[in-house]
Each structure stands twice: as structure tokens, then as C-alpha cells.
Amino acid sequence: MSDQPQHPQNDLRTAVAGEKKRTRVVLSVAIGVVAVAAIVGGVVFATTAFRAPAAGAAGEPAAAAQPISVKIAVSEDSPFRDTIKEVAAEKGLDIEWVNVQDWVLPNTELAAGTVDANAFQHILYLSAFNAENNEDLTPVFSTLITQWGIFSASLDSVEDVPDGAKIAIPDDPSNGGRALNILEAAGLIELSEDKSDFPSTDDVTGNPKNLQFVEIAATSIAQQFDDPSLAAVVVGTSYFDPSQGITTDDALFLDDSLSEQNLPYVNVIATRDDNKDDPAWAILKEVYADERVADANVEENADTTVLVDVPVEKLRAKLADLEEQAASQ
């Protein structure tokens, strides 16, 4: 299969059509997945960002309301996160970003209760972590989706990829699977028809150019862009450091991030299941919808990352489906 499937009724695409970059994109993703019985529907969060004041003695005024404080693990600092923190403070939400230079620790720290949430991953990565570690981390709302593509320092087109070329793909199941889907969409390989959302190199059924897949940690693939031993790398466009000067225009092939199959790659704020009803998350969702946050995302990420709003019930239902797939691997 050399062409990406077309989705004329795709809700992901419909939701962003005609929107300005400054406008938060509202996505209503229509997918047939197994319902999650444990989800409590119709939960309404308080819209105030302050903890209830403590009652004072008779005749005395109640103590002043205290802002909600949350610790959120992230994989890196950024001006975008600075804007989120500033807007949140106006709403009485005090965010402490906990910078963890790793893609495992944000989840293990969250599971251990060291932090209240994390903001670094899509639901496919989250599902793999939950399945492998018997955890119940869950999304509370969606944030971003990142454009991915095939990039090369030496080639000008996909057709120029030579026989036997080495292609760098992420070494984790979720991102590695996405990279393989992209290579298939570009016409470089074929994958098994019964592949899951977690395709691996074992699912490659057609490889006419005898490509060699070099599995590297996703966090470092962009830094391998100039490695002369690699013909190309498959990575998210936002992973490149601004100093590298690489944009979507430099891609040999760009993934269609708004296609139906990319729902698993929607990034989320995740927390523990027993903490999912904390009113802080409703306030933080309002913060992500603020125009200043949208502007900060455009300034930092240009067209490589889009703010999205997928209903949490759909995120959790897809997460449950993905966890079932991961557990069977």
C-alpha cells in the first residue's frame, strides 16, 4: 500500500477544516471501540480554581481560598509550558512543571504518586506502559497531536532511498509502530493486513529495497539526522531542535496526522485513575483552550503541532482497546 487511505467523512479532519492556527481545534473522533465499563459518564467538574475555604469559628470569617497546586511531569521545558503556567496562575491553578529527561520516569513517577499528572505522551504510549506495568494511568483531556515524517540529510525524495539503506525508527513499540505505518504509506514497505496498532518489524511482509531498520530511542532520533550511516530518519517534526532549521517542508514524506488511524497519537494530560476527578483538570483544560496558549503553540511549533480537543470518553475507550492489544503482544 503506497498511498495513505482517504477519509472523506473523517471527524478528525472535519474538526480542523477552516480553523485558524490560533484557534483551538475541536476534534470529534468517530471510532468503533470497546466501551470502558469503569468510566463514569457525565461527571461535572467545578469551574472555580480554588479549594473551598476552611470554616472559621462562630463569628469569624472563613480562611481565604487557596489556589490548587499540582505537580506535572514533562520531558522538557519550553516557552509554551511557561505560557500555560502563567495563564493557569490567573485562574488560581499553581502548576509546578517537573522536568524529567526520560520517557519512562514521567509515568513511573506518576504511578508512585510523586507527581499529580504528566504531559508528554500520546495514548498509544500510555497504553503500552499500562499493559507492561499493570498500571491504571488514564487521560483527563487531550492536548496536542504532532506531525511526523521521513527526513534525510542526503536524499531529495522517497524514490531516492537506495537498496539496503538504513532507516532510523523509534525503539519503543508505540512510536516504532507509527514509523512503520509511515514507511508503508510512503510506499517503501508493506505491512501485514492483520497488523495491530502496534506493528513491529516482524509485521513487514514486503521490503523491496531490503531496508534495514535501526531502532533508536525516540528522544534522540532527531539528533541522528546527520549521521552519514543513515539514509533517513522517521520522527516527529517537533522533535528537531530549532537550531537544526528543519521544518515540515524538508520532509521526504509527511504523515497525515489527522487521519483516522492517528487517534492513538493524540497527546494527553494523564493522571492516576483514583485522581481523575480532581477539579484541577477541568481548570487546566480551560487553560489549554485559552487563545494565549494557542498563540504560544503556534510561535513555538509553527505547523508541526496542533492543539486538539477529543472527548475524554473516546480517549479512554481507545486506551482500553490499545491496552488489550498491548497485553496480547
Segments making up each domain of the chain, as ranges: 14-28+68-146+261-328, 148-256
By CB atoms closer than 10 A (0-12, 13-18, 19+), residue 281 is buried
Q: Which CATH class is domain 14-28+68-146+261-328?
A: alpha beta
Evaluate whether 140 touches 213 at the Cβ level (below 8 Å).
Answer: no
Q: Which CATH class is domain 148-256?
A: alpha beta
Kind of pairing between the strands at 190-191 and 204-206: antiparallel
Cell output for 157 = 525524495
Alpha helices in 8-143 (DSSP H): 11-16, 79-90, 105-112, 123-133
On average, the pLDDT of the chain sits at 82
Higher per-residue confidence, 19 vs 96? 96
Q: Tell me 76's DSSP state.
A: S
- Tell me if domain 14-28+68-146+261-328 and domain 148-256 are identical in fold: yes
Per-residue pLDDT at 256: 83
Per-residue pLDDT at 127: 93
Question: Out of 118-122, 134-138, 178-182, 239-243, which region has the weakest mean confidence (pLDDT)?
Answer: 239-243
In this prediction, residues 45-62 reach a mean pLDDT of 40
